[in-house]
Amino acid sequence: MKKLTGLLLLSAFAAPSAFSAAPAETLSVHILNQQTGQPSPAVTVTLEKQQQDKWTTLASGKTDQDGRIKSLFPQDQDMQPGVYKVTFKTQEYFRSQKLDSFFPEIPVLFTVTRTNEKLHIPLLLSQYGYSTYKGS
pLDDT at residue number 34 = 94
Classified as helix, coil or strand, 127 is coil
Given a contact cutoff of 8 angstroms between Cβ atoms, the answer to whether 76 and 96 are in contact is no
pLDDT at residue number 109 = 98
- Does residue 72 form part of some domain? yes
Arithmetic mean of pLDDT, 117-129 = 95
pLDDT at residue number 2 = 54
Alpha carbon separation from 104 to 6, 15, 44, 109 (Å, rounded) = 59, 46, 12, 16
Among residues 46, 60, 43, which one has the least CA distance to residue 97?
43
Where in the sequence is the domain holding 120, given as residue range(s)?
A: 24-132
- Does residue 12 form part of some domain? no
- For residue 59, pLDDT over 70 is answered with yes
- Does residue 2 form part of some domain? no
Mean pLDDT of the residues in the chain: 87
- Does residue 6 form part of some domain? no
* Extended strands (E) in the chain: 27-33, 38-39, 44-51, 54-62, 68-69, 82-88, 106-112, 119-126, 129-132
- Does residue 99 form part of some domain? yes
In total, the chain counts a number of residues equal to 136
- Does residue 58 form part of some domain? yes
Cβ-Cβ contacts under 8 Å for 41 (sequence gap 6 or more): 62, 63, 64, 65, 66, 67
Q: Which percentage of the chain shows pLDDT scores above 70?
A: 84
- Does residue 35 form part of some domain? yes
- Does residue 43 form part of some domain? yes
CATH number of the domain where residue 70 is located: 2.60.40.180
How many domains are contained in the chain?
1
Task: Give residue-wise pLDDT tens across range 2-40.
Answer: 554 444 444 444 444 444 566 777 899 999 999 999 999
DSSP 42: T
